[in-house]
Amino acid sequence: MDVRRRFPKSAAAAAAASPTEIASVGGAARVQASDALPLPIRHTNLLFSALFAASLVFLMRRWREKIRSSTPLHVVGLSELLAIVGLVASLIYLISFFGITFVQSIVSSHDEDDFLLNHAPAPAPAPTPCPLLCDAAPSPEKMPAVTEEDEEIILSVVAGKTPSYILESKLGDCRRAAGIRREVLRRMTGRSLEGLPLDGFDYGSILGQCCELPVGYVQLPVGIAGPLVLDGRQYYVPMATTEGCLVASTNRGCKAIAESGGAESVVLRDGMTRAPAVRLPSARRAAELKAFLEEPSNFETLAVVFNRSSRFARLQGIQCALAGRNLYMRFSCSTGDAMGMNMVSKGVQNVLDYLQGDFPDMDVISISGNFCSDKKPAAVNWIEGRGKSVVCEATIKEDVVKKVLKTTVSALVELNMIKNLAGSAVAGALGGFNAHASNIVSAIFIATGQDPAQNVESSHCITMMEAVNDGKDLHVSVTMPSIEVGTVGGGTHLASQAACLDLLGVKGANLESPGANARLLATIVAGSVLAGELSLLSALAAGQLVKSHMKYNRSSKDISKAA
């Protein structure tokens, strides 16, 4: 996001900043319009507010006297003329001061639909360097001098007079706000955050949508696994992780798939869900609402109401469940290339407002009643699906199993049965009939700007293996019923994450076929999980897991290990 668009340097916007909020960039003070005022900005605000109120009261009283005495209103004296001028001048000042932020918020805000149509975000300007803080541990020799203006703000935040969360809007400089907040944290805790970078990140790109109260950013290495040959195309898969062996193992699985002719995938379902919880006076009344929602003749009307929320949201179905007099309504809808949580929530709110007309005794407890189910392991997602439901399969040739995976077909089939199926059943697993699907899902999610918390349900996976072609070759598949991904919205617009999406060829929205990019990303996730499952299970079957982790998952400067 362009910081300059959110904080334009107009006279009105500059007047909203106090003299203590002048930024010091490169050693030179940035001049603002408020510098020309003879009084501090807070006194000027009080003066114009009092002038506005006094002028308005005076004119109202004068006009009331004229109406009572039948005097024409357009006949004005000098005092009235001065009052009118004062009223207009103070009104202009107050609108400029208090209205500019509201207007800018409207101009700069973006609905999910705008993301879908404007899938290529404008390049953000490089962050302006600020000498307020250095990334290393502060010391008298290395720490840059803090300007008097910044020092006053820091002391105000430390004293609790200025809330930390309004620094961006007060200063109009996201990088400077992060630096001040970081210095406040250092003084309050006595800890320097050494090693947490501050410079080198565009803080304006996260303002109002990705992260609040930033003080820096965490660095994560990104590795590439591939090529993953999937549905006749090659993909180089970015994975952000700190677990040694993960990328290398997934890369080996990709090699085995590629040398066997590639993998194939199919998307079974595509629909995001949201399930509000409502309460009615009685269970009978709740059952009546359930019957109304499930009546096929009412679906078209409900769909029209729901679909008004977005040009991409399309209601697919409503599934209801009763618990006493509480009703849980699970709405499912398509969401284009967005992951779609906000989109479906807006549609659900429209339907709830509509239902209040026929069911005025309906009490909405929450827009989300956990029957969705979001960011929690749940049988409803495992059975009904959520997001994208994907199956990916491949047939691995016998010689590839021996040469690349260093094991045998029979050993893999037996291990998968005893570990992934029987072992998970003994553990009472819910959606966890796999070796390590969440490893791959999390790494790709972080690299591509997905919501990492949705790894919980997105990693639901059952891995199947069986011997085919007279027992010579291995058929392997992963079934993942709830992969929740998007290629627009959320963190997908950030520079690093957008670059990873672009590497996969799914950056932004697909204008020709809305939703195609998100579905393709889901199949790539499933294909990568397939590769990861193949490699890890092969390492377990061959007894190589501990050996490989001891060799590659330990800190070492020996670059020969990378071979």
Q: State the catalytic residues.
A: 243, 375, 451, 549
387, containing H or E segment: strand 387-396
Rounded Cα distance between 528 and 11, Å, is 53
Rounded Cα distance between 125 and 277, Å, is 44
Kindly provide the b/e burial profile for residues 295-310, where b requires at least 16 CB atoms within 10 angstroms of the residue's own CB.
eeeebeebbebbbebb
Side-chain-side CA neighbours of residue 401 (13 Å) = 25
Angle value at C-alpha 258, between 256 and 262, nearest 5 degrees: 115
Rounded Cα distance between 254 and 236, Å, is 10
CA dihedral 228, 231, 233, 237 (to 10 degrees): -30
Rounded Cα distance between 274 and 320, Å, is 12
The helix-helix angle for 495-504 and 437-448 (nearest 10°) equals: 120
| Total length of the chain | 563
Extract the tokens encoding 21.
Answer: 């909020």
Q: Judge whether 389 and 380 are in contact, CB under 8 Å.
A: no
Rounded Cα distance between 441 and 450, Å, is 10
Q: Judge whether 464 and 479 are in contact, CB under 8 Å.
A: yes
DSSP letter for each residue of 30-82: PP-GGGG-SS-HHHHHHHHHHHHHHHHHHHHHHHHHHHHTT--TT---HHHHH
* C-beta atoms surrounding 220 within 10 Å: 13
Angle value at C-alpha 378, between 374 and 381, nearest 5 degrees: 75
